[in-house]
Chains A and B, each alone.
Chain A
Amino acid sequence: MTLPFVHADWAAIVPVAIVAATGLVVLIADFFAGREGNRYVSIVFGLLGIMIAGYFAARQFGHNYDAFFGGFMVGGFATVFQEIILIAAAGSIILYATVGAPQRVAGMSAIMLWSACGAMLMAGAANLMMIFLGLELLSLGLYALCAAVDRKTARESALKYLILSSTATGFLIFGFALLFGATGSIRLADLVTPTLAVSPYFWIGAGMFLIGIVFKLSLVPFHTWTPDVFEGAPLPVTAFMSVATKAGTLAVFARFIYAALPPGTAEGLLLPVWIVAGISMIVGNVGMLAQENLKRLLGYSGVAQVGYILAALAGGTPLGLRYALYYLVAYAFMNLGAFAVAAAISGDGEEGAQIASYRGLARRRPWLAAAMTVFLLALAGLPPTAGFLGKILILSSSVSSGFLWLGALLIIGTAISLYAYAKVIRLMYAHDEGEAREFRPFVPLAWTSAAICAFFVIAMTFYPLTPSNVLPLVR
């Protein structure tokens, strides 16, 4: 049997295809960059490809594209997720301007682009196969990326990620098999059958599927891998993982809860997820308190932030999805910005990953310190940043959908997190500089990235970018 590959399919996957092709272009361009390699060639080509893909993805927004017999659907909320993933890829590849051996940058950028393809496929996935395909493409790239630096912790990180992530994928696949057994179809849309609400295959299958999702989102109790993997992986990879993995998985989760649940099952099936999200807000924020490594700190912070995003989805309302997207965009900018600052003061040793190295930054590099302050305030949810407005939106969503306890946990978690973020701010503005540290000179790309992120983190407060008509296009 041959599968027809029609023009409509192409139209849907153009952005993904461009990103994939860009990976090849980066590799070929590197041939001409000399033996030692030139990191800027890879970065510039990578960014150009991402921008072109972003343009085509943006053009899809508002139209319904569907490819591979309904297995891949973009144009609605999936497009927003794809843009977030592209932003994450761009913001991460830029970081290779300061870290990573030059001869490796091309290869790592290419793998990162292909990983991004996987995440973009997940964002548009509308059947079980496509979810799995996207997830594996994303993860395979990440395993390699985590190990791509000569450090013992990096190898440990890659191995840990490989083993634990495979376990989660096992759950996911087993869940898929049961779901397929229950419906006889791999299409998510076919799950919306009233008779399934009493099928044990559906309940067990969906439960295992959700366990896999919760693992990938690194929520409690499956969060313990996150800080270790984040710490070991190279800085750009950590930045990419912290946003793109979450965005891809959240897209799948959102499509599942909005478009693939048999009537009447949502409440019972999803309640454990909301509980887990609530616990994650507390555990993630408490975990941050004792950290001395920025990557670990942001790993724990990510555990809590995903909890916040899920709180927006808890009501299953159209507005909730918009607020989740708003917060995710804001989170992408604040996280990538923080990593950009870390990269701007790092060399190959990744000094910027150590919180202690921020001591006295405000005197030596006042603009970087100011940008970092903005990102940390945003992560803590203080004004005048998008984190503040995002929290307001999530709180109002949880109030109106009756999940006040999630709102209360969010408040408590935020109060705890404040100390961890403010500790870094305090260190930057400390006047009792210990041993004077030399910060590396101006790195245009990393500084620009930090500046752009800071701009968006502040500007989004005043102009909330909530795409208006995403929900009708979920299905």
Chain B
Amino acid sequence: MSWLRRSARLKKEWRHDPEALMLKRHFRELSVAAALGILLLFLAVAAPAFYQAQPLLSLLTREAPTLVVACGMALVIISRQIDISVGSQFAVCSVCAGLLAALKWPPFLVLPASIAIGALMGAINGTLVAGLRLPSIVVTLATMVTWREGLRWLRQGEFVNLPDGVQWLGLSQANGQRALIITALVVLVLMALAMKHLSAGRFVHAVGSDAEAARLAGIRPQLVTFSTFVLIGAFTGFAAMMNIAQSPQVDPKSGTGLELKTIAAVVVGGVAISGGRGTLWGVFAGLLLLACISPALTHLHIEAYWEKAIQGAIILLAVVADGLRTRSEKR
């Protein structure tokens, strides 16, 4: 019986030791980071060619807009909603921003326009979800299809060719790439700090854990929900600008699958799909892990057939881990 006593004592210590507590609270984030670390280490041994400055910089630049949208998605999911229209919003913002840039609008005017268009689409979602209490999955499904098909009708799949100087915003390629990556990281850090230290951030958590309790505590859950949708729209508009700044033309299909990518990153990163829990650091680790799979497989000469299966398995693992955790917490 001594082991039992010992484990009880350990448990006690666990509870009082702040370091151990931290470890436990952030177990999900840390396990994703560990998985990412293992993958990166493995690649260092098995495929050192993965570590070349230029390709990595290019790949990370491609993921930078996704990270910004994923930050917005994390907020929406923490507040117990979902937005599957981000991919379509992204495409609409990209094409609009591209057309404005093609009309020789300077980037410092195109950027706010793109953000405004995104925020407007977010406000439409937010009004329908928060104002009329419709389920967000239905609302954003409808807007996803509407925006995407509207765009198809308008553009017929035709690319928007951008004038010279839009790509990298006049910077050199390497500096432009660094600027975009740093921008995305700044957004991440600011949002992570805001979620922890601003009351607005805590409101999002509160509404996601228990909207009724939040209401009784004086928070207006519908306003919080509306705001998260406007925010993710604005973030998507911002991300769209980051996307067109790295290419001389805009594919009107860009953003296809973005909703899946970002939701997957959020879920893998340890945000509870049932709301109320999660951090942006976890989302960051989740996004990096998922983004590494495809290049890793190419470097390891593994058939492309496996890519989606492996990504799916990682998501499944994350969801199962969440389910087990929720069950053990309830006990």
Do A and B come together as binding partners?
A: no
**Interface of B toward A, CB cutoff 8 Å:** none
